[in-house]
Amino acid sequence: MKLHLTRRYAFAAAHRLHSAQLSEEENRRLYGKCANPYGHGHNYHVEVTLSGPVDAATGMIANLAELDAFVGREVLDAFDHKNLNEEVPAFRSAVPTTENLCVEIFRRLCTFPAAHLERVRIEETGLNSFEYAGE
């Protein structure tokens, strides 16, 4: 029997949407107010979905305490109350759009040993959410 488990997390972070490959005018046109040189912040909500068999002894796909510790170490500690452009090495060369953030979080979590990572979903605002399920 294979089940899915989804766990929700939250963190706050700032970013500036700006591509070095574009002119200032193109950045303003493309990213609008999100290209503000001083950046802006979001309260992100992240859903992590795992799948796997239910362990006969524990009755669980994965131990939630182990998952929480892993997500805390790999994602929350790295992103919470950070400026993504300046404090997260992955975004020194990539634009920290929520699409790219979703892929980066998936990359960080795909090594969770207890279950298979199915997808990462990020809600940036009440109007925007992004989901990545790997290649």
> What residues are annotated to the active site?
34, 81, 124
CA-CA-CA-CA dihedral for 5, 11, 13, 19, to nearest 10: 0
Beta partners for residue 115, in sequence order: none
7's tokens: 């766990």
Task: List, as one string, the DSSP characters of the chain.
Answer: -EEEEEEEEEEEEEE----TTS-HHHHHHHHGGGG-TT-EEEEEEEEEEEEEEPPTTTS-SS-HHHHHHHHIIIIIHHHTTEEHHHH-GGGTTS---HHHHHHHHHHHHTT-SSSEEEEEEEE-SSS-EEEE---
